Amino acid sequence: MSEDPQAPSALALARLMLTRDLKLASRKASQLVQPLAFFAIVITLFPLAVTPELAKLRHIAPGVVWAAALLSSLLALEFLFRDDAQDGTLEQYALSGRSLTGLLIAKTAAHWLLTGLPLALMAPLAGAALGIPNAALPGVLASVTIGTVTLSLIGAVGAALTLGVRRAGALLSLLTLPLEIPVLIFGARAMKLAIAARPYGAPLTLLAGLAVLGLTLAPLAVAAAVRINLE
């Protein structure tokens, strides 16, 4: 079958998908605010529960910021493909003759823009509240920005695998959290080195490598899982 010359290119179609998802998400403010509010609450509770002394908070800040960011990113994953699966949109994507992998990459990118990027922008503020020096805040921003890309890709795989499961939140967490542990380790290590004013390029490079690996493999796994759940 010859392809319609007037049909949009794969890149244009992905751009349309990204714009559509961003517009739909803007109508569901509660889903957007929930991960950010959870992140802010966790960061706020630690000084109350442990100690208000900045010197001690600075020591545990990398683990606190990264654990809060990882758990916050899980909150929006359950809705990543659920609505499109319920109204038949995913099935139409699969039957459209276009690359399902490319369309799902666009949806995952929208998830990162709505969840991962805001968390990354909040991370320096959270770090400052935990006593991280201003000189280390660029390292905080870089580690969380790169790390959340991988979290979104791994989360998309988990969301696709649990697409047909009702109330899949607990199962989704069990599937994704073990895979996200390396991101947590390297991200916290980069942040710790930044706080100590030491070079943090090595763990940051490993984080970037995980992001590239995820970008290479995760879309294929997501598309395969979606097709299986649609059959």
- Say if residues 42 and 68 touch (Cβ distance below 8 Å): yes
User: Within a domain: residue 48?
Assistant: yes
**Domain count of the fold of the chain:** 1
User: Within a domain: residue 7?
Assistant: no
User: Within a domain: residue 31?
Assistant: yes
Domain that holds residue 71: 17-230
* DSSP three-state, residue 126: helix
Packing angle of the helix pair 137-161, 169-195 (nearest 10 deg): 160
**What predicted TM-score, i.e. pTM, was given to this entire model?**
0.87
pLDDT in tens, the chain (231 residues): 444 545 567 677 778 878 887 887 777 777 778 889 999 999 998 888 887 888 888 889 999 999 999 999 888 787 788 777 777 777 887 777 777 888 888 889 988 998 999 999 999 999 998 989 999 999 999 999 999 999 999 999 998 888 877 776 778 888 899 999 999 999 999 999 999 999 999 999 999 999 999 999 998 998 888 888 777
User: Within a domain: residue 36?
Assistant: yes
**DSSP H or E run through 206:** helix 201-230
User: Within a domain: residue 5?
Assistant: no
| Residues constituting the chain | 231
CA distance 87 to 218: 24
- Say if residues 220 and 101 touch (Cβ distance below 8 Å): yes
User: Within a domain: residue 6?
Assistant: no
CA distance 150 to 147: 5
